[in-house]
Structure 1
Amino acid sequence: MATIGLDKLYYAKITEDASGMETYDTPVQLAKAITAELSVELAEAILYADDGASEIVKEFKTGTLSLGVDDIGSQAASDLTGAVIDTNKVLISSSEDGGLPVAIGFRAKKSNGNYRYFWLYRVKFGIPATNLKTKGDSITFSTPTIEGTIMRRNKADAEGRHPWKAEVTEGDEGVAPEVITGWYTSVYEPVFTPVAP
Protein backbone atom coordinates (compact mmCIF):
# COMPACT_ATOMS: atom_id res chain seq x y z
CA MET A 1 0.00 0.00 0.00
CA ALA A 2 1.29 3.48 -0.87
CA THR A 3 2.60 5.87 1.77
CA ILE A 4 1.34 9.45 1.95
CA GLY A 5 3.33 10.97 4.78
CA LEU A 6 6.51 11.02 6.86
CA ASP A 7 7.01 12.11 10.45
CA LYS A 8 8.44 11.33 13.90
CA LEU A 9 12.11 11.45 12.91
CA TYR A 10 14.24 10.31 15.87
CA TYR A 11 17.86 9.39 16.51
CA ALA A 12 19.61 7.44 19.25
CA LYS A 13 23.29 7.79 20.06
CA ILE A 14 25.31 4.58 20.02
CA THR A 15 27.77 3.49 22.67
CA GLU A 16 30.18 0.69 21.78
CA ASP A 17 31.95 -1.61 24.22
CA ALA A 18 35.55 -2.75 23.75
CA SER A 19 34.49 -5.40 21.23
CA GLY A 20 32.40 -2.91 19.19
CA MET A 21 28.99 -4.19 20.31
CA GLU A 22 26.36 -1.45 20.27
CA THR A 23 24.00 -0.23 22.96
CA TYR A 24 21.57 2.56 22.17
CA ASP A 25 20.69 5.66 24.20
CA THR A 26 17.06 6.69 24.60
CA PRO A 27 15.81 8.05 21.26
CA VAL A 28 15.31 11.82 20.92
CA GLN A 29 13.58 13.77 18.17
CA LEU A 30 15.97 14.92 15.46
CA ALA A 31 13.80 17.42 13.57
CA LYS A 32 10.56 17.66 11.66
CA ALA A 33 10.89 15.39 8.64
CA ILE A 34 10.33 16.64 5.11
CA THR A 35 11.85 13.82 3.04
CA ALA A 36 13.68 10.53 3.61
CA GLU A 37 15.34 8.83 0.66
CA LEU A 38 16.81 5.40 1.28
CA SER A 39 18.89 3.57 -1.30
CA VAL A 40 20.64 0.24 -0.80
CA GLU A 41 23.72 -1.27 -2.44
CA LEU A 42 23.96 -5.05 -2.62
CA ALA A 43 26.97 -7.32 -2.95
CA GLU A 44 26.19 -9.92 -5.60
CA ALA A 45 27.87 -13.15 -6.65
CA ILE A 46 26.78 -15.54 -9.38
CA LEU A 47 28.08 -19.10 -9.67
CA TYR A 48 27.91 -20.44 -13.20
CA ALA A 49 27.68 -24.18 -13.81
CA ASP A 50 26.50 -26.25 -16.79
CA ASP A 51 26.45 -23.16 -19.00
CA GLY A 52 24.08 -21.18 -16.77
CA ALA A 53 23.62 -19.41 -13.50
CA SER A 54 23.57 -22.10 -10.82
CA GLU A 55 23.52 -20.01 -7.66
CA ILE A 56 23.00 -16.32 -7.01
CA VAL A 57 23.78 -14.62 -3.69
CA LYS A 58 22.71 -11.05 -2.94
CA GLU A 59 23.59 -9.49 0.41
CA PHE A 60 23.29 -6.04 1.94
CA LYS A 61 26.52 -4.12 1.48
CA THR A 62 25.72 -0.51 2.42
CA GLY A 63 23.07 2.10 1.96
CA THR A 64 22.52 5.84 1.78
CA LEU A 65 19.97 7.84 3.72
CA SER A 66 19.23 11.41 2.66
CA LEU A 67 17.06 13.35 5.09
CA GLY A 68 15.35 16.64 4.32
CA VAL A 69 14.39 18.31 7.60
CA ASP A 70 12.94 21.63 8.72
CA ASP A 71 15.97 22.45 10.87
CA ILE A 72 18.87 20.68 12.55
CA GLY A 73 19.38 22.06 16.03
CA SER A 74 22.82 22.53 17.53
CA GLN A 75 22.65 19.44 19.75
CA ALA A 76 21.49 17.15 16.93
CA ALA A 77 24.13 18.60 14.59
CA SER A 78 26.78 17.96 17.23
CA ASP A 79 25.59 14.39 17.83
CA LEU A 80 25.35 13.57 14.13
CA THR A 81 28.41 15.31 12.69
CA GLY A 82 30.87 15.60 15.57
CA ALA A 83 30.81 19.42 15.56
CA VAL A 84 31.19 20.91 19.04
CA ILE A 85 29.15 23.46 20.95
CA ASP A 86 31.34 26.11 22.61
CA THR A 87 30.80 27.89 25.92
CA ASN A 88 28.59 30.51 24.24
CA LYS A 89 26.37 27.76 22.74
CA VAL A 90 27.73 28.38 19.23
CA LEU A 91 28.06 25.30 17.01
CA ILE A 92 31.66 25.04 15.79
CA SER A 93 32.42 22.85 12.78
CA SER A 94 36.05 21.97 12.07
CA SER A 95 38.01 19.96 9.55
CA GLU A 96 38.64 17.34 12.24
CA ASP A 97 34.92 16.64 12.76
CA GLY A 98 33.73 13.11 12.28
CA GLY A 99 30.51 12.18 13.98
CA LEU A 100 29.85 8.79 15.46
CA PRO A 101 27.15 6.52 14.00
CA VAL A 102 23.60 6.81 15.36
CA ALA A 103 20.39 4.83 14.95
CA ILE A 104 17.63 6.60 12.99
CA GLY A 105 13.90 5.97 13.43
CA PHE A 106 10.90 7.37 11.54
CA ARG A 107 7.45 6.44 10.35
CA ALA A 108 5.54 6.78 7.08
CA LYS A 109 1.75 7.12 6.96
CA LYS A 110 -0.03 4.76 4.63
CA SER A 111 -3.13 5.63 2.63
CA ASN A 112 -5.28 3.49 4.98
CA GLY A 113 -4.30 5.64 7.99
CA ASN A 114 -1.88 3.13 9.56
CA TYR A 115 1.86 3.73 9.77
CA ARG A 116 4.96 1.84 8.67
CA TYR A 117 7.73 2.21 11.27
CA PHE A 118 11.49 2.03 10.65
CA TRP A 119 14.74 1.84 12.60
CA LEU A 120 18.05 2.02 10.76
CA TYR A 121 20.54 0.56 13.24
CA ARG A 122 23.76 2.32 12.27
CA VAL A 123 24.01 5.50 10.17
CA LYS A 124 27.09 7.73 9.90
CA PHE A 125 26.28 11.24 8.73
CA GLY A 126 28.31 13.83 6.88
CA ILE A 127 28.01 17.60 7.05
CA PRO A 128 24.49 18.92 6.37
CA ALA A 129 23.96 20.74 3.09
CA THR A 130 22.67 24.28 3.46
CA ASN A 131 20.81 26.03 0.66
CA LEU A 132 20.13 29.71 1.16
CA LYS A 133 18.42 32.14 -1.17
CA THR A 134 17.57 35.80 -0.94
CA LYS A 135 13.92 36.70 -0.55
CA GLY A 136 12.33 37.82 -3.79
CA ASP A 137 8.75 38.42 -4.93
CA SER A 138 7.57 35.13 -3.41
CA ILE A 139 8.44 33.20 -0.28
CA THR A 140 10.71 30.20 -0.75
CA PHE A 141 11.64 27.93 2.15
CA SER A 142 15.28 26.87 2.47
CA THR A 143 15.79 23.72 4.52
CA PRO A 144 18.85 21.60 5.29
CA THR A 145 19.56 18.14 3.93
CA ILE A 146 21.84 15.66 5.66
CA GLU A 147 23.15 12.48 4.11
CA GLY A 148 24.42 9.41 5.90
CA THR A 149 25.82 5.99 5.11
CA ILE A 150 23.81 3.06 6.44
CA MET A 151 25.80 0.13 7.79
CA ARG A 152 24.92 -3.15 9.42
CA ARG A 153 25.35 -3.13 13.16
CA ASN A 154 28.18 -5.02 14.82
CA LYS A 155 25.98 -6.68 17.46
CA ALA A 156 24.40 -9.89 16.22
CA ASP A 157 20.77 -10.66 16.89
CA ALA A 158 19.58 -13.89 18.56
CA GLU A 159 19.96 -15.74 15.25
CA GLY A 160 23.56 -14.62 14.75
CA ARG A 161 22.78 -12.11 11.98
CA HIS A 162 23.77 -8.44 11.85
CA PRO A 163 20.64 -6.37 11.06
CA TRP A 164 20.76 -2.99 9.37
CA LYS A 165 17.03 -2.17 9.40
CA ALA A 166 13.87 -2.98 11.36
CA GLU A 167 10.49 -2.30 9.73
CA VAL A 168 6.94 -2.99 10.89
CA THR A 169 3.49 -1.97 9.67
CA GLU A 170 0.85 -1.00 12.19
CA GLY A 171 -2.25 -3.19 11.89
CA ASP A 172 -0.50 -6.14 10.23
CA GLU A 173 -1.57 -9.53 11.53
CA GLY A 174 0.42 -10.65 14.57
CA VAL A 175 1.98 -7.25 15.33
CA ALA A 176 1.57 -6.69 19.07
CA PRO A 177 0.27 -3.23 20.02
CA GLU A 178 3.21 -2.72 22.42
CA VAL A 179 5.65 -3.00 19.51
CA ILE A 180 4.03 0.10 17.97
CA THR A 181 3.48 2.06 21.21
CA GLY A 182 7.08 1.40 22.32
CA TRP A 183 8.72 2.15 18.97
CA TYR A 184 10.29 5.45 20.10
CA THR A 185 10.96 4.58 23.75
CA SER A 186 14.01 2.56 22.70
CA VAL A 187 15.66 1.31 19.52
CA TYR A 188 13.86 -1.90 18.54
CA GLU A 189 15.71 -5.12 19.33
CA PRO A 190 14.83 -8.18 17.23
CA VAL A 191 12.95 -10.94 19.09
CA PHE A 192 12.93 -14.54 17.93
CA THR A 193 10.97 -17.39 19.49
CA PRO A 194 13.12 -20.53 19.61
CA VAL A 195 11.82 -23.32 17.39
CA ALA A 196 11.19 -26.57 19.27
CA PRO A 197 13.37 -29.44 18.01
Structure 2
Amino acid sequence: MAEPKNTATLASNLMSGQFINVQKLHIAKMLTDEPNGTATYETPINLGRILRKVDIKPKTSQAELYADGQSIDSVTGTASYDLTFDTAALPLEYIAYLFGHKMENGVMVAGKDDVAPFFAVMFQSDKRNGKKRYTKFYKVQFTEPSETGSTKEENIAYATPTITAKAIYRLSDGLSYTKADEESGFTEAADWYASV
Protein backbone atom coordinates (compact mmCIF):
# COMPACT_ATOMS: atom_id res chain seq x y z
CA MET A 1 0.00 0.00 0.00
CA ALA A 2 1.37 3.44 -0.95
CA GLU A 3 2.16 5.90 1.83
CA PRO A 4 -0.24 8.87 1.94
CA LYS A 5 1.22 11.82 0.07
CA ASN A 6 0.90 14.29 2.93
CA THR A 7 2.72 11.92 5.32
CA ALA A 8 5.57 11.41 2.87
CA THR A 9 5.90 15.15 2.38
CA LEU A 10 5.93 15.76 6.12
CA ALA A 11 8.61 13.13 6.69
CA SER A 12 10.83 14.54 3.94
CA ASN A 13 10.65 18.03 5.45
CA LEU A 14 11.39 17.14 9.07
CA MET A 15 14.43 18.85 10.54
CA SER A 16 16.11 18.23 13.85
CA GLY A 17 17.83 21.29 15.24
CA GLN A 18 19.19 20.48 18.70
CA PHE A 19 18.19 22.80 21.55
CA ILE A 20 21.11 24.58 23.21
CA ASN A 21 19.53 27.48 25.11
CA VAL A 22 16.36 28.80 26.72
CA GLN A 23 15.75 32.50 27.28
CA LYS A 24 13.52 35.59 27.19
CA LEU A 25 10.97 34.76 29.88
CA HIS A 26 7.98 37.08 29.52
CA ILE A 27 4.74 37.23 31.50
CA ALA A 28 1.42 39.01 30.97
CA LYS A 29 -1.16 39.24 33.73
CA MET A 30 -4.55 37.84 32.75
CA LEU A 31 -7.37 40.33 33.24
CA THR A 32 -10.45 38.41 32.11
CA ASP A 33 -11.31 34.86 31.06
CA GLU A 34 -15.04 34.31 30.72
CA PRO A 35 -16.62 31.16 29.25
CA ASN A 36 -17.38 31.68 25.56
CA GLY A 37 -15.87 35.15 25.85
CA THR A 38 -12.48 36.64 25.10
CA ALA A 39 -9.44 36.39 27.38
CA THR A 40 -7.68 39.70 27.95
CA TYR A 41 -4.21 40.47 29.30
CA GLU A 42 -1.96 43.29 30.31
CA THR A 43 0.99 44.10 28.05
CA PRO A 44 3.69 41.39 28.35
CA ILE A 45 6.67 42.15 30.59
CA ASN A 46 10.21 40.96 29.89
CA LEU A 47 11.64 39.57 33.15
CA GLY A 48 15.18 40.07 31.89
CA ARG A 49 18.12 37.68 32.01
CA ILE A 50 16.84 35.36 34.73
CA LEU A 51 15.85 32.11 33.00
CA ARG A 52 18.22 29.14 33.46
CA LYS A 53 16.01 26.12 32.82
CA VAL A 54 12.39 25.21 32.06
CA ASP A 55 10.71 21.90 32.89
CA ILE A 56 7.25 21.08 31.50
CA LYS A 57 5.38 18.01 32.78
CA PRO A 58 1.87 17.17 31.54
CA LYS A 59 -0.54 15.85 34.16
CA THR A 60 -2.23 13.06 32.25
CA SER A 61 -4.66 10.29 33.05
CA GLN A 62 -5.54 7.20 31.05
CA ALA A 63 -8.44 4.78 31.07
CA GLU A 64 -8.86 1.48 29.27
CA LEU A 65 -12.06 -0.36 28.41
CA TYR A 66 -11.94 -4.15 28.59
CA ALA A 67 -14.35 -6.65 27.03
CA ASP A 68 -14.07 -10.33 26.18
CA GLY A 69 -10.77 -10.58 28.01
CA GLN A 70 -8.93 -7.81 26.17
CA SER A 71 -8.57 -4.05 25.93
CA ILE A 72 -10.90 -2.73 23.24
CA ASP A 73 -10.47 1.01 23.72
CA SER A 74 -8.24 3.53 25.47
CA VAL A 75 -8.54 7.22 26.19
CA THR A 76 -5.93 9.66 27.47
CA GLY A 77 -6.52 13.17 28.77
CA THR A 78 -4.24 15.98 29.96
CA ALA A 79 -5.72 17.97 32.82
CA SER A 80 -2.94 20.53 33.31
CA TYR A 81 0.80 21.12 33.02
CA ASP A 82 3.31 21.45 35.85
CA LEU A 83 5.94 24.07 35.03
CA THR A 84 9.26 24.62 36.79
CA PHE A 85 11.47 27.62 36.12
CA ASP A 86 15.05 27.69 37.40
CA THR A 87 16.07 31.33 37.63
CA ALA A 88 19.28 33.25 38.20
CA ALA A 89 17.56 35.72 40.51
CA LEU A 90 14.07 36.62 41.68
CA PRO A 91 13.75 40.22 42.91
CA LEU A 92 11.13 40.97 45.55
CA GLU A 93 9.18 43.05 43.04
CA TYR A 94 8.79 39.98 40.85
CA ILE A 95 7.70 37.82 43.77
CA ALA A 96 5.11 40.37 44.86
CA TYR A 97 3.75 40.67 41.32
CA LEU A 98 3.57 36.92 40.71
CA PHE A 99 1.87 36.07 44.00
CA GLY A 100 -0.36 39.08 44.58
CA HIS A 101 1.61 40.45 47.54
CA LYS A 102 2.00 44.10 48.46
CA MET A 103 5.23 45.97 47.74
CA GLU A 104 6.02 49.39 49.18
CA ASN A 105 9.31 51.24 49.71
CA GLY A 106 11.35 48.09 49.16
CA VAL A 107 9.31 46.00 51.61
CA MET A 108 7.15 43.06 50.51
CA VAL A 109 4.26 42.00 52.72
CA ALA A 110 2.47 38.67 52.21
CA GLY A 111 -1.06 38.52 53.60
CA LYS A 112 -3.35 35.58 54.23
CA ASP A 113 -5.91 36.88 51.73
CA ASP A 114 -3.41 37.40 48.90
CA VAL A 115 -4.36 35.55 45.72
CA ALA A 116 -1.84 34.74 43.01
CA PRO A 117 -3.21 35.98 39.67
CA PHE A 118 -3.09 34.08 36.41
CA PHE A 119 -0.50 34.95 33.77
CA ALA A 120 0.39 34.13 30.22
CA VAL A 121 3.99 32.88 30.12
CA MET A 122 6.23 33.13 27.05
CA PHE A 123 9.79 32.03 26.32
CA GLN A 124 11.95 30.70 23.51
CA SER A 125 14.28 27.76 22.97
CA ASP A 126 17.27 28.38 20.70
CA LYS A 127 18.67 25.69 18.44
CA ARG A 128 22.21 24.94 17.36
CA ASN A 129 21.36 25.75 13.74
CA GLY A 130 20.24 29.28 14.63
CA LYS A 131 16.49 28.56 14.47
CA LYS A 132 14.15 29.08 17.42
CA ARG A 133 11.05 27.49 18.93
CA TYR A 134 8.62 29.72 20.80
CA THR A 135 6.30 28.60 23.61
CA LYS A 136 3.33 30.44 25.09
CA PHE A 137 1.16 29.13 27.95
CA TYR A 138 -2.10 31.06 28.22
CA LYS A 139 -3.22 30.56 31.84
CA VAL A 140 -0.55 29.95 34.46
CA GLN A 141 -0.62 30.37 38.23
CA PHE A 142 2.66 30.41 40.16
CA THR A 143 3.21 28.89 43.59
CA GLU A 144 5.37 30.36 46.34
CA PRO A 145 9.02 29.37 45.91
CA SER A 146 10.98 27.52 48.56
CA GLU A 147 14.15 29.24 49.69
CA THR A 148 17.48 27.87 50.85
CA GLY A 149 20.69 29.60 51.80
CA SER A 150 24.13 28.56 52.92
CA THR A 151 27.16 30.27 54.31
CA LYS A 152 30.07 31.28 52.10
CA GLU A 153 32.73 28.57 51.99
CA GLU A 154 36.06 28.04 50.26
CA ASN A 155 34.29 27.10 47.03
CA ILE A 156 31.64 29.67 46.16
CA ALA A 157 28.25 28.30 45.09
CA TYR A 158 25.35 30.27 43.68
CA ALA A 159 21.96 29.99 45.41
CA THR A 160 19.48 30.25 42.55
CA PRO A 161 15.71 30.24 43.16
CA THR A 162 13.24 27.89 41.50
CA ILE A 163 9.58 28.71 40.99
CA THR A 164 6.85 26.27 40.08
CA ALA A 165 3.54 26.90 38.37
CA LYS A 166 0.49 25.14 37.00
CA ALA A 167 -0.84 25.80 33.52
CA ILE A 168 -4.53 25.08 32.92
CA TYR A 169 -6.97 25.60 30.05
CA ARG A 170 -8.61 28.95 29.40
CA LEU A 171 -12.36 29.15 30.01
CA SER A 172 -12.85 31.41 27.01
CA ASP A 173 -11.65 28.99 24.33
CA GLY A 174 -10.32 25.84 26.02
CA LEU A 175 -6.71 26.50 24.97
CA SER A 176 -3.69 25.81 27.18
CA TYR A 177 -0.60 26.58 25.12
CA THR A 178 0.79 27.19 21.66
CA LYS A 179 4.20 26.58 20.09
CA ALA A 180 5.78 28.02 16.97
CA ASP A 181 8.96 26.88 15.26
CA GLU A 182 11.07 28.67 12.67
CA GLU A 183 12.00 25.29 11.18
CA SER A 184 8.30 24.74 10.44
CA GLY A 185 7.94 28.06 8.63
CA PHE A 186 7.07 30.43 11.48
CA THR A 187 8.04 33.97 10.45
CA GLU A 188 6.35 36.24 13.00
CA ALA A 189 8.96 36.06 15.76
CA ALA A 190 9.12 39.86 16.03
CA ASP A 191 5.51 39.92 17.30
CA TRP A 192 5.67 36.88 19.59
CA TYR A 193 6.25 38.87 22.79
CA ALA A 194 4.24 41.95 21.82
CA SER A 195 0.90 40.55 23.01
CA VAL A 196 -0.86 37.38 24.08
TM-score, normalization by structure 2 = 0.82
Bigger drift between 75-84 and 1-10 goes to 75-84
Task: Give the 3-state SS of the residue equivalent to 2:169 in structure 1.
Answer: coil
Is 1:123 aligned to 2:157, yes or no?
A: no
AA matched with 2:102: V
Bigger drift between 16-25 and 121-130 goes to 16-25
CA RMSD of aligned residues (A): 1.9
Is 1:11 aligned to 2:27, yes or no?
A: yes
CA, structure 1 residues 22+78, in 2 after alignment: closer, same or farther (shift >3 Å)? farther
Structure 1: gaps (5+ residues):
157-161, 188-197
Contact 2:137/2:167 (CA < 8 Å) preserved in 1?
A: yes
Measured after TM superposition, the shift of residue 9 of structure 1 is 0.5
Is 1:152 aligned to 2:169, yes or no?
A: yes
Contact 1:13/1:79 (CA < 8 Å) preserved in 2?
A: no
CA distance in 2, matches of 1:112, 1:52: 47
CA distance in 2, matches of 1:183, 1:66: 21
Please point out which of 27, 35, 52 is paired with 2:53: 35
| Identity rate, percent | 28
Contact 1:9/1:105 (CA < 8 Å) preserved in 2?
A: yes
- Match in the other structure for 1:169: 181
CA distance in 2, matches of 1:152, 1:137: 48
Q: Give the greater-gyration-radius structure (CA).
A: 2
Measured after TM superposition, the shift of residue 110 of structure 1 is 1.5
How many aligned residue pairs are there? 178
Contact 2:33/2:170 (CA < 8 Å) preserved in 1?
A: no
Measured after TM superposition, the shift of residue 155 of structure 1 is 1.5
CA distance in 1, matches of 2:124, 2:33: 29
CA, structure 1 residues 108+17, in 2 after alignment: closer, same or farther (shift >3 Å)? closer
Measured after TM superposition, the shift of residue 154 of structure 1 is 1.2
Which structure shows the higher helix fraction? Answer: 2
Please point out which of 18, 38, 55 is paired with 2:73: 55
CA, structure 1 residues 97+152, in 2 after alignment: closer, same or farther (shift >3 Å)? same
Measured after TM superposition, the shift of residue 12 of structure 1 is 0.6
Is 1:100 aligned to 2:117, yes or no?
A: yes
Is 1:139 aligned to 2:148, yes or no?
A: no
AA matched with 2:67: A
AA matched with 1:7: Q
TM-score, normalization by structure 1 = 0.82
